[in-house]
Structure 1
């Protein structure tokens, strides 16, 4: 009581907070990610929640647009041999089409979840993308890594359709950067 003793009444002090990367006390972001601050990653993640709520429809819309823009790529999917791009309704209702489309969207979802979990360590996200690239090299006949690029515009179009009036220049820029990040590591896996 009073003469120079500890004022914490025997309690241990809390550990220091983790290092922060901006003035708003946000966690640091791995330099491999295309976002200079956690705020950009946080904004992307919040936009992605809308896509996640509509994941089946989003996946099918993205995949259908990809195939309509690249009809010669349909042959790379043996499960689609009885489907025609001209019959959109039948294609969209086909379970094999839905499964493949869902798997493609899940890659992006997994990457966002990984960087959301540890924004300062993108290695799990990079590893997931590299593994997908390697899998495509091993299992997809006649593919080259440039085909990953062909999915960018269908991906961005799908995001724009879902976000509607929220899809402004900032949202497009965030998703374009995100896709380029994914593309880099997909190609690295494919070419390794």
Structure 2
């Protein structure tokens, strides 16, 4: 996934902690950048795994999209920059198993994921634009793979708090 930042170095400048990574060598050896790239891939993986629970899928990606409204200069079209690096990562991972049919499936899937992120981002912007409406609060709860997530929106600010939940039936 580091290919995303190699091909779109301008994205690094949006993140305060990555602005100083000017050379490819600095980018390649940055643990923070590697962690962020892993987080991006985990988000993609989590979204695809949650497709069988479509409400969870939408909530997870809408929240993720909305969180990106906090990044100065970030626009929804930037989500599309992950499409090619994601497909390349899938191709590299699957090797010979990456057939035309599999490619078609992943192209449709990544398009759906990105469109949903964009929706979440745009909703997040709408919430931010209603900052003047004092007392506008909403709380969302979800359960993603055994973790309860509460998202509270207050005057356009989205925050996510996760707590683990044990499903012991002893």
Whether TM-score is above 0.5 comes out as yes
1:79 shift after superposition: 1.5
| Distance (Å, rounded) in 2 between the aligned partners of 1:103 and 1:127 | 18
Stretches (4+) displaced over 2 A: 90-93
Counterpart for residue 77 of structure 2:
146
Counterpart Cα distance in 2 of 1:162 and 1:85: 26
What pairs up with 1:7-156 in 2 under 5 angstroms?
Answer: 62=1, 64-87=2-25, 90-115=26-51, 119=52, 121-137=53-69, 139-156=70-87
3-state SS of paired residue (1:83): coil
State the Cα distance separating 1:103 from its structure 2 match: 1.2
- Matched residue SS, 1:84: coil
Is 1:191 paired with 2:122? yes
* Structure with higher strand content: 2
TM-score of the superposition, structure 1-length normalised? 0.60
Unaligned runs of 5+ in 2: 124-170
Q: Which has the larger radius of gyration?
A: 1
2:144 pairs with 1:181: no
Q: Structure 1 unaligned runs (5+)?
A: 1-61
Q: 1:43: which partner in 2?
A: none
| 1:174 aligned counterpart, secondary structure | helix
Q: Quote the offset at 1:67 in angstroms.
A: 1.6
Higher RCO structure, 1 or 2 (CA under 8 Å, sep 6+)? 1
